[in-house]
């Protein structure tokens, strides 16, 4: 969307914040409130879609790409999943100040929008630069900050599925960690057709290499999958290395990282447990 575009006579696009396979994110301002405060607007539309009639779910339901007769049914599914996701985001933002609040959600045609709280600050990828080894005290404080935010999601049985430095904001006002980008599909499973007509199964293929454990990449994430990702953030802080570039033990599958960091036995043991290959 172009800068200056106004949606619902309410939200004016200021700038693009990013785009990906699950949609585009924009910085906007709320024209209806005093001072026109900033907010984040998420446009849920798959990138590169050639068709315009079902831009929301074609990314997630490949078998429907050429099945025009199913369009009304798919749109109904999209609406249902979108409403469920909005309720989840609203509850999480209300329960914790470490998760952005949901201000609005709406649909225009076959496209869907979320309006969320704008977190002024920076994501911690700015702090966790490649080759820079951070202290144990910094790492412990970081881990605690992430886990305090994540606890609220897990208490609601919600798996984030994409914890990484870019989704961890350091809020300018109080220096606390805010967990962003649950995304409009992170809590929604990807739909896959089965052999039986009219039947679907639910799988998940959301995450980032290096921060995503094997059970998640296999489409079966657990709450502990998020703990793995948090552990990998801690290991990146201590080693200065990208998690996907760390070697693994050929016998256990566990990450080998201890020789790259100066760390106490206590923290080493905690991190090793967080990123163990077998979630059980």
The four Cα atoms 143, 147, 148, 149 give a dihedral, to 10 degrees, of 110
Query: Which of the four CATH numbers 3.10.150.10, 1.10.510.10, 3.40.50.300, 3.40.50.1370 does domain 120-280 have?
Result: 1.10.510.10
pLDDT for residue 193: 35
Question: Which residues touch 271 (CB under 8 Å, ≥6 apart)?
Answer: 231, 234, 235, 238, 257, 263
> What top-level class would CATH report for the domain 1-118?
alpha beta
**Residue 84 above 90 pLDDT?**
no
Q: How far apart are CA 256 and CA 258, in angstroms?
A: 6
From 30, 123, 162, 181, active-site residue: 162
| pLDDT attached to residue 52 | 43
* In the predicted structure, residue 153 carries a pLDDT above the cut 60: yes
Domain spans, the chain: 1-118, 120-280
Residue 266 bears catalytic tag: no
pTM: predicted TM-score of the whole model, two decimal places: 0.82
Q: Which two tokens stand for residue 87?
A: 């309720």
């Amino acid at each position: 969307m172009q800068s200056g575009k106004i949606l619902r006579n309410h939200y004016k696009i200021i700038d693009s914040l990013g785009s990906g396979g699950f949609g585009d994110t924009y910085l906007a301002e709320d024209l209806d409130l005093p001072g026109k405060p900033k907010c984040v607007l998420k446009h849920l539309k798959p990138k590169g879609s050639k068709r315009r009639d079902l831009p929301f779910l074609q990314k997630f339901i490949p078998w429907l790409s050429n099945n025009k007769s199913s369009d009304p049914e798919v749109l109904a599914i999209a609406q249902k999943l979108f409403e469920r996701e909005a309720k989840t985001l609203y509850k999480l933002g209300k329960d914790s100040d470490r998760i952005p609040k949901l201000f609005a959600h709406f649909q225009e045609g076959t496209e869907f929008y979320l309006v969320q709280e704008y977190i002024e600050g920076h994501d911690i990828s700015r702090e966790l630069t490649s080759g820079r080894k951070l202290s144990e005290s910094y790492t412990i404080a970081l881990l605690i900050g992430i886990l305090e935010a994540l606890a609220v999601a897990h208490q609601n049985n919600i798996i984030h599925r994409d914890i990484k430095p870019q989704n961890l904001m350091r809020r300018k006002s109080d220096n606390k960690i805010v967990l962003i980008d649950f995304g409009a599909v992170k809590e929604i499973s990807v739909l896959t057709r089965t052999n039986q007509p009219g039947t679907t199964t639910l799988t998940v293929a959301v995450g980032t290499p290096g921060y995503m454990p094997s059970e998640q990449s296999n489409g079966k994430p657990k709450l502990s999958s998020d703990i793995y990702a948090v552990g990998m953030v801690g290991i990146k802080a201590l080693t200065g290395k990208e998690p996907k570039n760390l070697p693994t033990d050929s016998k256990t599958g566990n990450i080998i990282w201890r020789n790259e960091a100066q760390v106490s036995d206590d923290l080493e043991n905690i991190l090793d447990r967080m990123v163990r290959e077998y979630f059980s």
